[in-house]
Structures are given as structure tokens and as C-alpha cells.
Amino acid sequence: MRKNDPSSAPRSGERLQKIIAAAGLASRRGAEEWIREGRVSVNGQVVRELGTRADLLRDTIRVDGRRLGRPERRLSLLLNKPRGYLSTCSDPRKRPTVLDLVPSARERLYPVGRLDFQSEGLLILTNDGDLALAVTHPRNRCAKIYRVKVRGRPSDQALRRVARGMYLEGRKTLPVRVTPIRSEKHAWLEITLTEGKRNQIRRIFEAVGHPVLKLKRIAIGGISDRGLSPGAWRTLTQAEVRSLKGAVE
């Protein structure tokens, strides 16, 4: 038996995806994808099994060849993302990202979920993998609330169609709460989602003939902050982090 062979070692320690998330590199879901893609090694051997366990104090764990150190201090920020920023850590086209708005943070943070380039509103940046999982995993159904302006004035029938859920890429979305706010030339709506498919709100309203003109996320799992100006951020309180985690446990 090889001493450093993770496949032959006793199954002790923690799951690799949890270790990677705790190190602040990605959410657990993101870490699982890295493992499947063969980007993670333990004691020199690539690991693709999601059930693999390791001990950071005993084993050498690398992601893309970079060795994991001890977990960073957990930090979670609430950012009011302006339009014109990508919800990602980097961009090959050198467009501005949300990390450009928090240059003072020493910890390696990543956005939890996404707001597209033209959308604005609340976004969590964190290195806490458990928090990211609580907010993004579909089974948790963490509610996000959006203020949306759509072209024209959707009929009651169109809004009922949106509310029931619609098929995107062959799969039906979960029901959506739709609350009309006001209707002038174009309608303003409040939309509550419990899942986060890519560009979901824009795609469902495009499908009913009322493209989105403006989109702003105003709450995540009960956390909101109307006093946070565009581009500004603040640290989530421990109580807010506990509430986000506890709301989906």
C-alpha cells in the first residue's frame, strides 16, 4: 500500500469539496465541478470521486497545481452591484468585475450567484462555502426578490403564465411570485425567485413578449439594504450570515 495514495488511505477527514470551499476558493458546487474536471489532486494523484476525504493537516491537496493552505478568515460582503460590471472574478476581455469594487478585501472572495452585466442590485461576495451553498443550491430555495421593468404592459394571462413556471432549455422553472407595482407606458413588477437559472427573468419575459428593460435585485433570503448606494458594499453581520444559512437548513 502506497503511503500517499488517497484511494488506499482510510476514509477519514473531510470531503474534498468542503475543504476547498472552506479555503475560500469556490462554493461546494464549484469545487465539485473542479473535482469532476480533474483539477484537484491529493498527495500527487488526481481525484475525481466526490466522496473522497482528506485531511488538510496531513495530506497535500492541490487545485490546478496550487497547494491549499490553511483556511482564510471567513468574510462575507453585501454589494450593491451597478450596471456595467461582471459577476465573476476575472474576465479575459478585461471588462470590470465586481471584485474591482472591493479592492480593500485581503481575502479571496467570489460572487455567490450572478447578476448579468446590465443588471444591478444586491450580490453577496464571500469565501464561506457553506454560505454560498445555502444561498445557491436549488434544494434550499433561497428567495431572491427583484424589481423589474418590462416593455409594455403584460396581460394577466401572460403574468399567470410566468407565475406558473415556464420551460427553459427543456426544463420547467419553479413557480414565480409576480406582483405588479405600477403600469404606465411600461410595467414595473416585483419578482420573487427560489432558483437561479441563467438570465431567468430576462428569458421568461422575452418568451411572453415583454423584454426586460431594467432589473434590480433588492433582497436575498430576507437580507436587504436600501441605504447601500450603487457600487458600495458592507460586511454581512454574523446574524445575517446565520439567518441565510438557517433559513434553508
Instruction: Write out the chain in H/E/C secondary structure.
Output: CCCCCCCCCCCCCEEHHHHHHHCCCCCHHHHHHHHHCCCEEECCEECCCCCCEECCCCCCEEECCEECCCCCCCCEEEEEECCCCECCCCCCCCCCEHHHHCCCCCCCCEEECCCCCCCEEEEEEECCHHHHHHHHCHHHCCCEEEEEEECCCCCHHHHHHHHHCCEECCEECCCCEEEEEEECCCEEEEEEECCCCCCHHHHHHHHCCCCEEEEEEEEECCECCCCCCCCCEEECCHHHHHHHHHCCC
Average pLDDT over residues 198-212: 96
- For residues 204 and 97, membership in a common domain is answered with no
Domain boundaries, position 190: 143-220
Residue 190 lies in a domain: yes
The CATH number for 195's domain is: 3.30.70.1560
CA dihedral 194, 200, 203, 206 (to 10 degrees): 40
Res 172: pLDDT: 92
Residue 34 lies in a domain: yes
The CATH number for 56's domain is: 3.10.290.10
Chosen domain end from 27, 42, 67: 67
Contact 145, 191 (CB under 8 A): yes
Residue 42 lies in a domain: yes
- For residues 133 and 241, membership in a common domain is answered with yes
User: What is the rounded distance in angstroms from the CA atom of residue 205 to the CA atom of residue 213?
Assistant: 10
Decide: pTM greater than 0.75.
no
Res 79: pLDDT: 97
- For residues 121 and 236, membership in a common domain is answered with yes
> What residues are annotated to the active site?
116
Residue 8 lies in a domain: no
- For residues 133 and 227, membership in a common domain is answered with yes
Residue 149 lies in a domain: yes
- For residues 18 and 29, membership in a common domain is answered with yes
- For residues 230 and 111, membership in a common domain is answered with yes
- For residues 157 and 211, membership in a common domain is answered with yes
- For residues 36 and 50, membership in a common domain is answered with yes
Residue 2 lies in a domain: no
Q: Please provide the average confidence, as pLDDT, over all residues in the chain.
A: 89
Q: How confident is the model at residue 130 (pLDDT cuts 50, 70, 90)?
A: confident
- For residues 47 and 166, membership in a common domain is answered with no
Residue 1 lies in a domain: no
How long, in residues, is the chain? 249
- For residues 166 and 97, membership in a common domain is answered with no
Pairing verdict, β 120-126 and 212-220: parallel
Per-residue cell: 4? 500517499
Say if residue 2's pLDDT is above 80: no
Per-residue cell: 11? 476514509
Other beta carbons less than 10 A from residue 5's beta carbon: 12
Q: Over the stretch 170-193, which tens digit does the pLDDT of each residue have?
A: 899 999 999 999 988 999 999 999
User: What is the rounded distance in angstroms from the CA atom of residue 141 to the CA atom of residue 145?
Assistant: 12
Residue 185 lies in a domain: yes
